[in-house]
Structure 1
Amino acid sequence: MKYFGIGGEAGLIEVQAYVYGALSFPALERDLLAHALNESLNTLGVSGRRASYSQIIYPCTE
């Protein structure tokens, strides 16, 4: 739900397909999903590795 709350545009089926390796995502969608996962792990107090982000620099939209 965090992924959709921060602007993720892929549908639930697409997210599941990506997680299982059946679909590729654009870098921005991967980064939104990684960010949502990392936030969830932080909220749960889980320490250790986190999902990594792309090496792409996004243009400022302001």
Structure 2
Amino acid sequence: MRKVSLATKNPTEGTLRPSWEGPYEIIGIQRSGTYRLRDSNGKTLGHPWNVEHLKYYFQ
């Protein structure tokens, strides 16, 4: 799961919006603590994400 930040939030949602988006699949490691992600549709996200903004999701 990816944490929703000011840059990724939907401006039409209010303060009770979800705090996490996803699930995402890790497809690569840029360097220690930085990961490339892919969504459930197979689309790769544009830039790598820091581990501080991610959490595990188990189905």
For the superposition of Structure 1 and Structure 2, which TM-score range results when normalised by the shorter chain? under 0.3
TM-score of the superposed pair, with normalisation by structure 1: 0.23
**Greater share of strand:** 2
**Greater share of helix:** 1
